[in-house]
Structure formats: C-alpha cells, structure tokens
Amino acid sequence: MPDTLRPETLKNRFAQAKVLVVGDVMLDRYWFGDVSRISPEAPVPVAKIEKTEHRAGGAANVARNVAALGGRAVLLSAIGDDEAGDCLNALMAEHGVETVLMRDQNITTTVKLRVVARNQQLIRLDFEDTPTHEVLDGVKNRFRELLAECDTVILSDYGKGGLIHVVSFIEWARQAGKPVLIDPKGDDYAKYTGATLLTPNRAELRQVTGSWKNEADLQEKARALRRNLDLQALLLTRSEEGMTLFRDGEPHYQPTQAREVFDVSGAGDTVIAGMGLAMAAGLDFPEAMRLANAAAGVVVGKLGTAVCSFDELAQSL
C-alpha cells in the first residue's frame, strides 16, 4: 500500500482538509414498520409504523460523508424556513458539518419520505419546490466568500434547481486554483464545462452520450465527452462492475469492493465525498479513486443513505 493510503497518514491529512459542498439538499425521512394485512379500503398493504428516522440526503449526505471520513465539511445550500429545514440543520450539527443554509420563505425543504417494512420500501413520497432566485443569488455571493478557505469544491446536482449558478461556481473555483468535482444530473452537461472531475453513473452517462456497443465504444464516448467539456478526468461508477477513471492515457479500472450489496441509495454521494476529500488531502486521481471505491463498498452494505466512517475505510483499504 502506498504511504499516502496508510491509515495514520490519511487520518492526519483528512483532518487538515476542508471541502466546500454546494447543491441540492434534502431530508430523508424513514418510517419503519411491519405489514400483516391488506387494507379493507383498497388492495394495498397496511404498514403499522414502529420507528421513524431522519437522515441527511443529497448534498447534505455528501457533506455528512466528508465529515464521517474525518474531513472538514462546509455545506452551502438553500432550504425552506420550516420544520424539515430545522431538522436538517440539527442533523448537520450532529454530524460535525459546518452549515451555511439560506432560508427561503417561499419554499418547503425537499423531503423524501420512505415507508419501509421488512427491509423493503413500500412507497416513497416526495415533497419539493425550486428555490427562488433571490435566495440562490445569496448562495452565489456566499460561495465566493467560502471558496477561499476550502481546498476542494463538490457540486452535488440533484436537479432540484439549487445549482443555477453552476457555470459561475466552476469559473471562480478554477480562478482560485481549487479542484471542482461534480455529481451531474440531466442531459445537458455543457454547463459543467471546465470542471476538474465529473462522476456520472452508467445511466447518467448514457443519457448524455447515448448507448455504447462495447468497452472500446464506451472509452471513445468518455474521451469525447472529456474533450468537449475540458475535464481533467471523468469517473464512471458502474455498480457491480466497479468504476472506471478516464483521463489522459489508458483508463484506470477499480473492481467493486462490496461483499454484499444491500442498498445502493446514496453510494454516489459517498464516491464523490471520498474523491473530494482525498484530493483536498493531496492524493492523486487513482489513489482518490481507490479510496472512494473502498468507502462506497462499505456504504452499499448498509440500508438507506448511510456513511462510511474513517475506521471502516481503513479496514476496507
């Protein structure tokens, strides 16, 4: 194992590294219960709720992952002025994340409510609004202030409207010499031009490049996208096939490390958090990728939006 990946070296470096996470935040609510009968009102299961949980989702989960790995995380986003926003703020404080959450009186905080019985999701209910331009302009102004004190920037795009100023964010990060990593969304990647690294999964990449016939075709499409967007690198997460890093030269493969896949929700958050923190700590792309892959392998073995602790990462590496 290289010296940079030794636990004692990593721990010290992570403690010094600061990551600015910007994007769409959400509150994941889980209602856990049991199902023993069908409703007499409609052919649907009746869930008797026995336990509720709240977890940070979206960009908030990315920041939570950075903190869990021992890094310093600053979360910048827009939320509603409501109970869900209060809950999210409290969760972030609990996880050791520094927050700059701009309250928007005109929206509700994005909430994803999942009803789970016997480790199976019965239904998911989403509550969401797009933040107003006035509040997003406030986020934009704070970004410039916070950028100076951070080592890397992660932009977590969940398509909820929180990153309308993504072009400016990339430009300012480049001017400041700070790597900017993006978890992309949608079919318009032009707005991500100039980023350091993009981390799409297979479905997200296919939406932009179209399908590929074989590995050689995939490599060509990935190289073309990198050229067109002026990216230093592209990290493709491939579920059970692990991940592939495309940059100058030959692609770099990393097989999956998950022993048993229990739940992949939030795994992309762990990957980009691991990459961002590793790069903030001075690791190169392949080392950061190895670390992010190990962290993701831990997280998919847990239920729901989970995190990988530093000790779990050290053991996995």
Q: Which residues form the catalytic set? A: 269
* Cα 196–chain centre separation: 16
Here the contacts of 204-213 (C-beta below 8 Å, separation 24 or greater) are 205/236
Cα separation, 47 vs 38, whole angstroms: 9
Within 10 A of 229 (CB to CB), how many other CB atoms are there?
A: 19
